[in-house]
Amino acid sequence: MRVEIWSDIACPWCYVGKARFEKALRAFPHRDGVEVVHRSFELDPRRAKGDVRPVLAILAEKYGMSEAQAQAGEDNLGAQAAAEGLEYRTSGRDHGSTFDLHRMLHLAKEKGRQDELIGILFRANFAEERSLFSEGDERLVELAVEAGLDAQDARAVLADPTAYADAVRADEREAAELGANGVPFFVLDRTYGVSGAQPAEVFAQALTRAWGERSPLPAVEDGGADACGPDGCAVPQR
């Protein structure tokens, strides 16, 4: 079974939701038969690279609230994260474009290191004192290397703004086609969706339900085709 998770690195509920999903997955009896794929979703796709601002200032501006109110919201999020055993810095965080992060996640997917990298990026954005956005490209290269990627490969992606750009946009288009207008968004075997950072119990139920409904294919094109089976191969007639 395959679980696709659309998320953005700048999305606190994605950080929390991933932990809740993983809690359900660890307890799921068929966990070894579950493959997880991370998909791109930018919450703020028009933000330019290098346009980095404090999270609290952005929140205050966006919701027309005071910084104290924004801080209270972050404190609440921090408590939700803590309840999942996650570190969460409730002040001093930056916000910036996540496009390069998503491009790097597609490189990581190709190299079989996607799950490592997304965990490292979430941690770098939400838990670490250093800013993920304001130190420039080398910070991202450093994190990519930590995830097991090659520094040269990572630098090549950053140097070419078209690298994996279509892959990011294809993920986003697909999210829209599937009806997702927010993240995190979980899709199980293209059969069930779970929207938002729901409790682990909801993910557990969705896993069980989707697993139980894995069914033989409705339509197989066959008709005496050329194939090999345990008893040997069809012999072609010329």
Facing residues of 232 across strands? 229
Smallest gap, in angstroms, from Cβ of residue 192 to a copy of itself? 5
Distance CA 52, CA 134 (A): 6
Alpha-helix runs per DSSP H in 7-53: 12-26
Asked if residue 234 binds a copy of itself (CB under 8 A), the reply is yes
Kindly state the smallest distance separating residue 200's Cβ from a copy of itself, in Å.
Answer: 13
Burial of 38 per CB tally in 10 Å (0-12, 13-18, 19+): buried
Q: Between residue 33 and residue 62, which ones bind a copy of itself under the rule CB under 8 A? A: 33, 43-44, 59, 62
Phi/psi of residue 116, each to 5°? -60, -50
Residues comprising the chain, all counted? 238
Per-residue x/- marks for a copy of itself, 7-26, CB under 8 A? -x--xxxx-xx---------
- Judged by CB under 8 A, the residue of 127, 163, 202, 204 near a copy of itself is 202
Least distance from a copy of itself to the Cβ atom of residue 136, Å: 26
Which amino acid is it at 134?
S
Angle between helix axes 12-26 and 67-83 (nearest 10 degrees) is 10
192 touching a copy of itself, by CB under 8 A: yes
CA distances from 188 to 37, 181, 204 (A): 10, 17, 12
Q: Does 226 bind a copy of itself (CB under 8 A)?
A: yes
Is residue 77 part of the contact set for a copy of itself (CB under 8 A)?
A: yes
What residues contact 24, with CB distance under 8 A and at least 6 apart? 200, 201, 203, 204, 207
- Residues in binding contact with a copy of itself, number by CB under 8 A: 69
Shortest Å distance, C-beta 107 to a copy of itself: 9
Contact 122, 14 (CB under 8 A): yes
Residues 85-104 that bind a copy of itself (CB under 8 A): none
- Least separation in angstroms between residue 32's CB and a copy of itself is 7
Residues that bind a copy of itself (CB under 8 A): 2, 8, 11-14, 16-17, 32-33, 43-44, 59, 62-63, 73, 76-77, 79-80, 109-112, 166, 170, 174, 177-179, 181-185, 187, 189-198, 202, 206, 214, 216-222, 225-230, 232-238
